[in-house]
Structure 1
């Protein structure tokens, strides 16, 4: 990793990058942003199409409990991976299971599980904050370049590669099952299996990006770029590519601004993403009459 950091530092010294990138933590954040930004944008298109926006927020909030569980079972403060990934995956699969076993609406199920997750998270946070470094918890909640380490970057890279390959291979299936479950079944696909698979992939990416974006703001980056792209995209292909572009610009620009200003990276990334959304909204009459809408093919 030091070799890669040295390359970026040399570029900063030579003026190809802002001088702030002479610091290792900024380089680490930039690499993470360039890895996770495009993937979040692509996954966001399916999230918006399937109306899973607040599902994503519930997973982010479950991270509080996941971190606490990891600490309580003896994981190091800077690497609570088993507790974090394990608990968030359990919550995601639980919501999907309840949805497929009941006639309750999505928002009702999410509201029920969200209340449970928040209650458990608050109790566990009170237990662990008296024993561990509170800054680790703050990094998960709001995003922090300082707490992002080499181990996080390696985990993020591996998770993004695996998820990216599986997502790209199944993208058309995900979209078909989202638009028309009957047609998907007629073509020999299993909408229920695809739903479980997508939820698993989405959860892995969301959890991997928490230290950069923060649990409270991860909803913004996975939903807002896709929503902005949907406003102006003339077809499904442009919908995906514009969402990827908006998400990448948001992460990279937000990271740079958070390095220049004493504010959490996740908050600035969220604001940049929101600016792009309103820019797309204002330019919609000039560029398009509207992109692919939720529930339409």
Structure 2
């Protein structure tokens, strides 16, 4: 069976497997790394869902058996790769996907082809020896891949999530989080949501929702809100928008409250942050 793969370096590697004429066992070592699987089945008529995408966070020593598959792309990455080759605002936009413990999606042929082309471009760039900035290029391509996946999930209603009801609650919360900040930027939301507001959006008691989010992600809703607010603020501070307007756009009715919030989480004022950017 033809197999192509890159070395795991700079926190990233990519495998390509094709030609599954008989069952094939893929051995995975125990790791804390993240992985993305893009899978195409052979027989279109036999399976309702021919195109599959899986995300996994960490694995134990295991063997995954494949039968009747046409081709598979397997991407492996860790936090070093994200921190070094992905901008912080991009990471915050797609972190809800990267940090999924296990997510399995039946995807459209259109999305499959889009992601397949990105994977081919990734493999081409990473296979060039001694190429300057090749991992920066790969970082941008991986970002584009996750944005395509993010938009697909937000547009799709019937998502096949492998785990439990808690995973569905978590994904709904992350969607609501993204949508709320989009509404803030567009002036459609009058104030910054608190925990109780997210509970109301999902028809859950705030304490119950907080318990689920903490269990699934290891951090409370308040941390998600703070991190997202800071991420949005930094993006806006990279523009020419006045700080006063940024404060209002993010639901702060007083600039002083926004400045105090920003400094408490970054140890620097919004104006000083902007000055550092422009230096």
Q: Same fold (TM over 0.5)?
A: no
Higher normalized helix content (fraction of residues)? 1
Bin of the TM-score, shorter chain as denominator length = under 0.3
Q: Which has the larger radius of gyration?
A: 2
User: TM-score, normalized by length of structure 2?
Assistant: 0.28
Higher normalized strand content (fraction of residues)? 2
User: TM-score, normalized by length of structure 1?
Assistant: 0.26
